[in-house]
Amino acid sequence: MTPHQILIVAIRLLVIFWFFSILGQAGALLTTIQNMAVSSTPFVISLAVQIVAIVLLWLFPSTLAAKLLRAGNVPVQTSAVAFDEWRDLVFVGVGIFVLARAIPDVIYWAILAVVPESNSASFTFEQKAGAFTSLVQLTIGLTLTLGASAIASLIQKGRRVGVPVRQQSP
């Protein structure tokens, strides 16, 4: 497989995650419009721009991959990169994705926590649970990003528990 092909798969996975994120945004948009007297135009424009970007990325991932990679058509030798490095790269990638979602949430909750109480009501149970969830996501993202090799080797060891070790013949 070439790096170009790998990047195309990664772009398509990103598009799938992004699409599901938009579904969550659409639900929040409907709730916001129903409960508050705000104009829905900026929210609808934001959703429309994201949907257009998703469609373009889904239909033309090869174009973006070619722009990002200059020599992406050269096949990668399977022996050139060890399995452990690929495995660690996957954990780091997932960790970065989790961090990308958690950091804005943590900033949001931190701002709400710092605002003087005269300007805002006290946190409800649902808001406290949301803030706690954001902190857990931040912790998971940091752990996956910074401790990828340790986590991956621990999982690999766990998979081998109870499996007899093969004896190699001389």
| 30-42 exposure pattern, b = at least 16 Cβ within 10 A, e = fewer | eeeeeeeeeeeee
Answer for the pair 7, 57: CB distance below 8 angstroms, yes or no: no
Answer for the pair 22, 47: CB distance below 8 angstroms, yes or no: yes
Q: Where are the domains of the chain?
A: 1-76, 81-162
Average pLDDT per consecutive 10 residues, the chain (170 residues; last block may be shorter): 76 83 74 67 80 91 78 58 73 80 82 66 80 91 85 82 68
* pTM, to two decimals: 0.54
